Structure 1
């Protein structure tokens, strides 16, 4: 899928931020996939499965990724990719999840991480809060021997309307793996 196809395939109901996409400028935001839009929103018990997929991909050598992809049928790719497409965007694997009855953005370790990025981000967010900086609530959970960062949804107003946002990397014009 191209980046445009991914953007227009994602469900607008749970999207992150205020940008939305649709098939035309008149029908409003909508998914172009003929699947239940709830497929993009995960439940607490899905985190273990997602963490397992992330760990499996981490075990594949770079030169074997294309070979691995070639072993999958179109149905296999659909079943793996569609549930993992996240409206949260960004370079880090993410999922929108309900955990303990609250909506969170789950951030997973990424292939090639040099250190425990979810744990480091949680520590930085906690430190920022201790310094009086307004930040989203975070917490760490463990699944499949991996730390997963949960960031409480900060991108909606009190009645659920999307709010504009930009990541720190976007504002600073940084590329995560090159900083």
Structure 2
């Protein structure tokens, strides 16, 4: 990795080991790193290779690592160390790191990361929630920061997330509430995952823990781990499309890129169309390229289970456009139908999928009532679920 004097990453180079290139199981870690000998330089608009960026912390995790360094500097009586992309890459607990990469300087005898700490258990969730609240309100203690860092910092996004273990040792991602939430965000995401499953979309195993009025914790089993604990390669759509920082990737481009890298392009293309239709019908507007993922299978990259899907009653949010140059606000399901061929679907099949998703999502009020969600939240969320695309879907 090449850093400038201010510590900012300006580029990097990568080289595969010769033994890896000879291995029949070897695969390119990301599109920027083809299976070729010699040094591979990063591009000027993407200074860090996607597979490395995907296992780094995002906004929430970086906040924790900055906080931990500031406290360590104060305790040790030294100046604050400028954290670089190298520090962020190695500041994640090895056990909880997203995807299949691990980092070692001694050929796998030991793996790099912060000082070893036990991953919290499910019983630690109340303490983790209190610690996250303290961070949000800038009243955290050293113990709060240590607990949250031990719970993993490689999950993306701005909202508080931690990794915990269950009694069998399986890893779960826990999404925690924020004190400023206007509705029970985790409960509504859980409801939306149930709707997605009804609509024929693969979702992770999920549980909901209610911890108070309009406050819940959403638990989803980590899908980048096998039942035996083995790790599964992960890439975000951001990395699969090699998206530059200021570039806007649309869904049609994503579908066409996925077809080039998937081991089962027809299945994945159809599944992606179904997910986009679902996104429009539940008004999930937080659907940028970091919120779509792919898992490495024997035959190539394939869609990971759906994650980070949140209905939003307020439409004025910039989201992923449906086609190149398309609008990022008030996206129209009719535009999605017009681009169905990019997903490998004929018009009749696309309309059938849309009808199935519309039927599955129409039962949202029943599930909300079964979950005993507050009537005022149900009335608010009607703006998301009963949006104009539902009428268009029924008409189509």
Same fold (TM over 0.5): yes
Contact in 1 for aligned 2:131/2:145 (Cα 8 Å): no
Match of 1:9 in 2: 91
| 1:83–1:6 distance in 2 versus 1, CA, 3 Å | farther
Instruction: State which of 81, 100, 103 in structure 1 corresponds to 2:145.
Output: 81
Q: Which deviations, in whole Å up to 9, do the C-alpha atoms of 1:11-48 show, x marking residues without a partner?
A: 222322234455x6x65683343x2242xx11021101
> Which of structure 1's runs of 4+ aligned residues deviate more than 6 A?
none
Residues 125 and 135, structure 1, Cα contact 8 Å, conserved in 2: yes
Distance 1:104 1:21 in 2: 22
Q: With structure 1 as the length reference, what TM-score do the two structures score?
A: 0.69
- Relative to structure 1, the CA distance from residue 144 to residue 43 in structure 2 (aligned partners, 3 Å threshold; closer, same or farther) is farther
In the alignment, the residues of structure 1 paired with residue 291 and residue 154 of structure 2 have an alpha-carbon distance, to the nearest angstrom, of: 19
| Residues 158-177 of structure 1 aligned to structure 2 (within 5 Å) | 158-159=227-228, 160-166=230-236, 168-171=287-290
| Cα distance in 1, alignment partners of residues 212 and 291 from structure 2 | 33
Q: 5+ unaligned residues in a row in structure 2: which ranges? A: 1-65, 67-82, 238-286, 293-309, 311-316, 319-396
Quick one: distance in 2 between partners of 1:14 and 1:125?
23
| Larger Rg belongs to | 2
Which deviations, in whole Å up to 9, do the C-alpha atoms of 1:117-139 show, x marking residues without a partner? 21121111110001111111111
> For 1:104-163, what per-residue CA distance to the aligned partner results, in whole angstroms no more than 9, with x for missing partners?
111112354332221121111110001111111111012366300000121123441233
Shift of 1:87: 3.9
Classify the secondary structure of the residue corresponding to 1:36. Answer: coil
C-alpha contact (below 8 Å) 2:172/2:219 kept by paired residues: yes
Contact kept, 8 Å, 1:155 with 1:162, in 2: the verdict is: yes
**Greater RCO structure (CA 8 Å; 6+ sep):** 1
Does the CA-based 8 Å contact 1:104-1:152 persist in structure 2?
Answer: yes
Count the aligned residue pairs: 158
Matches within 5 A, 1:5-154: 5-21=87-103, 27=107, 30-33=111-114, 35-38=115-118, 41-58=119-136, 60=137, 65=138, 68=139, 76-77=141-142, 79-85=143-149, 86-91=152-157, 92-101=159-168, 102-110=170-178, 112-143=180-211, 146-154=215-223
Deviation of the 1:97 alpha carbon:
1.2
The alignment partner of 2:95 has SS state of: coil
Q: Distance in 2 between matches of 1:3 and 1:81?
A: 19
Asked if the contact 1:109/1:117 (under 8 Å) is kept, the reply is: yes
> Residues 18 and 163 of structure 1 are in contact (CA less than 8 Å); yes or no, is this contact kept in structure 2?
yes
